[in-house]
Structure 1
């Protein structure tokens, strides 16, 4: 014959299992949510390095690829020299005119 205490403990087991499974599922969902990238605000976080040249101009040659390892002194890009050659020619012409 079953006692009232054993009936109560038999009824508690399904509830305990449901609570434990729910908690495990919640932990899994939260971990997956943190691992996958989100674009809720359209922001992407990445390590970047800004390259700021001493002169400005149009880039006519890009000597590196994405994620390529480079060393100090390696050519990264070539800036169009025509505006500077033109300015040099105008400066030389104005010197000759003097």
Structure 2
């Protein structure tokens, strides 16, 4: 039996970060939930449930984004949170300037 790696974040923490980044991406793109859900071919209520933490985001959603011609550039950041794209940095900057 192996010991858990103390340096790895917990699954609940990772799920929280994933839903936060998914919503952050949608908002940075200037899309409503229904429009973003349509882009991903998922029901808007499913997207809402992901963003609000009522459902865990499944790997299939990340695969949809990774294979989407308009969204695939955001996949590494969505999964890791490392090296946010300029679009996200701009949205963060705007939101901090206009609370």
Higher strand share: 1
TM-score range with shorter-chain normalisation? under 0.3
Higher helix share: 2
TM-score, length-scaled by structure 1:
0.21
Q: For the pair shown, which has the larger CA radius of gyration, 1 or 2?
A: 1
TM-score, length-scaled by structure 2:
0.20
Determine which structure has greater relative contact order: mean sequence separation of CA pairs < 8 Å that are 6+ residues apart, divided by chain length.
Answer: 2
